[in-house]
């Protein structure tokens, strides 16, 4: 079985290794992070009869010695404050894009005045951002390049720069999104490999490996248009059922659900095995 999984995992690690090298992360550092991930996943998924596994069992499952397992388990939990801030900002941007009160007749997000309570941006944050201050949300959206601020006399106007929370101007936030979206995709693949076909999750993609460069621009434009339309429709459905955005929603349990879309583009040389190069 290890031979069967070695090649796809090696392929998977290629872009990850490139990313790590670009950010100055050594193999030793990555090895330490991988060790922690192995131990945490063993704790969460490899107990016996739904019981939390012992240090000895974790050591057996992972191949990591008991002393190191114990040390990792005693490390303080990492704060999730940054993810919480990102989620609040995302909900505010989504409300701005979807709520007719904050859009023009064509469905585009309106410029919003900002300042005292009662200003449009402040109301938007109050409605979709929970108890977080409007200034904190504005600072975050400015920092990552989602909005721009314009001073028009005594009035401050906030304009959306791009349709969505895509923090191109914040490498830290882009890395956060990288971790989240990559994890979502791998979790879906792992689920489908571990369960019967009738319990599988949707996992689809379309890709061709002998295309001329001249078709790429049209394909990118078409893919962006159609995928944005689909994601906006799905967003409209989900936001109606999200308890944070709609306080009247009832029901049992708490689930995370959604859908991701990404563009594939890779230059190949004659003789390349499709999908194996970085």
Residue 137 burial (10 A CB sphere; 0-12, 13-18, 19+): buried
Name the average pLDDT for the chain: 87
Residue ranges per structural domain of the chain: 1-78, 81-160
Q: Which positions ≥6 away from 202 have C-beta within 8 Å?
A: 259
Instruction: Grade residue 270 by pLDDT with cuts at 50, 70 and 90.
Output: confident
Average pLDDT over residues 226-251: 89
Sequence-separated (6 or more) residues with CB below 8 Å from residue 113: 119, 120, 121, 155, 156, 157, 158
Q: How, if at all, do strands 155-160 and 147-152 pair? A: antiparallel
pLDDT for the residue numbered 252: 96
Task: Band the pLDDT of 177: cuts 50, 70, 90.
Answer: confident
pLDDT above 70 coverage of the chain, percent: 90
pLDDT over threshold 90, residue 35: yes
C-alpha distances (whole Å) from 274 to each of 27, 204, 268 are 27, 17, 8
For range 129-147, the mean pLDDT: 86
Instruction: List pLDDT tens digits, range 69-128.
Output: 999 999 887 655 556 666 778 888 888 988 889 999 888 899 999 988 889 999 999 888
Instruction: Report pLDDT digits (tens) over 44-58.
Output: 999 888 788 999 999
Assign domain 81-160 to its CATH architecture.
Orthogonal Bundle (1.10)
Closest CA to 67 of 53, 56, 52, 78: 56
140 vs 137: CA distance, rounded Å = 5
Q: What CA–CA distance (Å, rounded) separates 116 from 123?
A: 10
pLDDT at 41: 94
Least confident of 11-15, 16-20, 93-97, 171-175: 171-175
What pLDDT is stored for residue 83 in this prediction?
60
């Amino acid at each position: 079985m290890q031979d069967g999984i070695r090649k796809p995992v090696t392929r998977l690690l290629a872009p990850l290794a490139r990313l790590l090298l670009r950010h100055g992360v050594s193999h030793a550092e990555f090895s330490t992070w991988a060790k922690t991930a192995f131990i945490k996943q063993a704790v969460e998924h490899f107990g016996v009869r739904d019981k939390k596994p012992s240090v000895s069992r974790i050591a057996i499952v992972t191949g990591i010695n008991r002393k190191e397992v114990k040390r990792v388990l005693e490390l303080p939990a990492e704060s999730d404050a940054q993810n919480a801030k990102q989620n609040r900002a995302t909900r505010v941007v989504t409300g701005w894009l979807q709520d007719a009160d904050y859009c023009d007749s064509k469905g585009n997000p309106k410029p919003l005045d900002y300042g005292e309570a009662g200003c449009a941006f402040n109301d938007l944050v109050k409605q979709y951002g929970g108890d977080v201050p409007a200034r904190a949300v504005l600072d975050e959206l400015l920092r990552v390049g989602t909005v721009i601020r314009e001073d028009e006399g005594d009035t401050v106007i906030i304009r959306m720069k791009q349709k969505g929370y895509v923090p191109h101007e914040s490498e830290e936030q882009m890395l956060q999104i990288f971790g989240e979206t990559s994890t979502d995709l791998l979790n879906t693949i792992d689920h489908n490999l571990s369960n019967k076909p009738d319990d599988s999750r949707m996992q689809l993609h379309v890709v061709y490996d002998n295309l001329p460069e001249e078709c790429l621009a049209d394909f990118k434009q078409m893919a962006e248009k159609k995928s944005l339309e689909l994601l906006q429709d799905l967003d409209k459905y989900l936001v109606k059922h999200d308890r944070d955005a709609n306080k009247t929603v009832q029901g049992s349990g708490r689930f995370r659900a959604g859908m991701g879309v990404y563009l594939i583009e890779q230059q190949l040389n004659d003789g390349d095995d499709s999908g194996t190069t970085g």
